[in-house]
Amino acid sequence: MLGGNGQETSQIVGHLIMPIFQGFILDQLPQVGSQIDHQINRHICYDDLGCFSTEAPFRSAQRPIVLLPDTPDKIRTTFELHTRSKPSTADEQILDYKNVSSIRASSFDGSKKTKIIIHGYTHNGHRQWLQNMARAFLKKEDMNVIIVDWGHGAVPPYTEAAANTRVVGAQVAKLISVMVSADQSGIDKFHLIGHSLGAHVAGYAGERLTHLPRISGLDPADPYFQGTDIKVRLDPTDADFVDVIHTDGSSILSLGMGAAQAMGHVDFYPNGGSEQPGCPAGLLSKITQTVWHSVSQLDLLAGEGSVACSHERSYIYYTESILATCPFMGYPCTSKDEFSKGRCLYCDGGCSYMGYNADKSTSRGSMYLSTQAAAPYCNFHYQLNITANNSMDGKLTVVLQGSKGNTDAISLTPNEEVLSNGNTMTKFFTTNKDIGNVTAVALRYDKTANLLLGWAYPNAWSLMGLSLLEAEKHRMDQFCAYGKSVQNHGATSFGMMGTC
Ligand SMILES: [Ca+2]
- DSSP state string for 229-251: -TTTS--GGGSSEEEEE-SSB--
| CA within 13 Å, CB half, 207 | 19
Residue of 70, 149, 219, 267 with catalytic role: 219
- Cα 313 to Cα 14, 91, 414: the distances in Å are 25, 28, 26
Peptide linkage before 157 cis (omega within 30 of 0): yes
Helix (H, G, I), strand (E, B) or coil at 7: helix
**pLDDT-based confidence at residue 422 (cuts at 50, 70, 90):** confident
- Please, which residues bridge with residue 145 across strands? 82, 115
Q: Is 233 annotated as a binding residue?
A: yes
- 179-183, 311-315, 487-491: the lowest-pLDDT one: 179-183
- 24-28, 315-319, 338-342, 347-351: the lowest-pLDDT one: 24-28
pLDDT in tens, 207-233: 999 999 999 999 999 889 999 999 999
- Please, which residues bridge with residue 401 across strands? 406, 440
The answer to whether the CB of 287 falls within 8 A of the CB of 13 is yes
Ligand 1 centre distance from Cα of residue 118 (Å): 16
CA pair distance 216, 102, nearest whole angstrom: 27
Give, for 395, the enclosing helix (H) or strand (E): strand 392-402
Residue of 311, 321, 370, 477 with catalytic role: 311
Give, as one character, the DSSP assignment of residue 325: S
Go through the chain and tell me how many residues it has: 500
pLDDT in tens, 186-211: 999 999 999 999 999 999 999 999 99
Q: Does 196 qualify as catalytic in the annotation?
A: yes
Q: Is 235 annotated as a binding residue?
A: yes
Helix (H, G, I), strand (E, B) or coil at 191: strand
Ligand 1 centre distance from Cα of residue 249 (Å): 18
Cβ burial, residue 128 (10 Å; 0-12/13-18/19+):
exposed
Dmax over Cα atoms in the chain, in whole Å? 84
pLDDT in tens, 45-58: 998 899 999 999 99
CA pair distance 443, 485, nearest whole angstrom: 10
Ligand 1 centre distance from Cα of residue 192 (Å): 14
Chain centre distance of CA 3: 27
- 6-15, 262-271, 301-310: the lowest-pLDDT one: 6-15
Q: Helix, strand, coil proportions of the chain in percent (round to 5)?
A: 30, 30, 40
pLDDT in tens, 111-136: 999 999 999 999 999 999 999 999 99
The answer to whether the CB of 170 falls within 8 A of the CB of 208 is yes
The answer to whether the CB of 203 falls within 8 A of the CB of 237 is no
The pLDDT, as a whole number, for residue 36 is 44
- Cα 496 to Cα 301, 412, 460, 486, 499: the distances in Å are 51, 20, 21, 17, 6
The pLDDT, as a whole number, for residue 26 is 29
**pLDDT-based confidence at residue 308 (cuts at 50, 70, 90):** confident
Ligand 1 centre distance from Cα of residue 195 (Å): 15
Q: Does 219 qualify as catalytic in the annotation?
A: yes
Percent of the chain with pLDDT over 90: 69
Got the DSSP string for 59-99?
A: SBTTBSS--PPPPHHHH--EEEEE-SSS-SGGG--EEBTTB
Ligand 1 centre distance from Cα of residue 206 (Å): 8
Closest CA to 24 of 298, 251, 304: 298
Ligand 1 centre distance from Cα of residue 434 (Å): 38
Helix (H, G, I), strand (E, B) or coil at 46: strand
The answer to whether the CB of 268 falls within 8 A of the CB of 367 is yes
Predicted confidence (pLDDT) at residue 299 exceeds the cutoff of 70: no
CA pair distance 436, 497, nearest whole angstrom: 18
Give, as one character, the DSSP assignment of residue 360: G
Average pLDDT over residues 68-88: 95
The answer to whether the CB of 362 falls within 8 A of the CB of 350 is yes
Position 107, amino acid: S
Ligand 1 centre distance from Cα of residue 341 (Å): 35
Ligand 1 centre distance from Cα of residue 197 (Å): 13
Average pLDDT over residues 472-488: 94
Residue of 106, 196, 352, 420 with catalytic role: 196
Ligand 1 centre distance from Cα of residue 228 (Å): 10
The pLDDT, as a whole number, for residue 40 is 55
Ligand 1 centre distance from Cα of residue 268 (Å): 19
Q: Is 188 annotated as a binding residue?
A: no
Peptide linkage before 270 cis (omega within 30 of 0): no
Closest CA to 166 of 108, 98, 225, 237: 225
**pLDDT-based confidence at residue 38 (cuts at 50, 70, 90):** very low
Ligand 1 centre distance from Cα of residue 233 (Å): 5
Average pLDDT over residues 305-326: 89
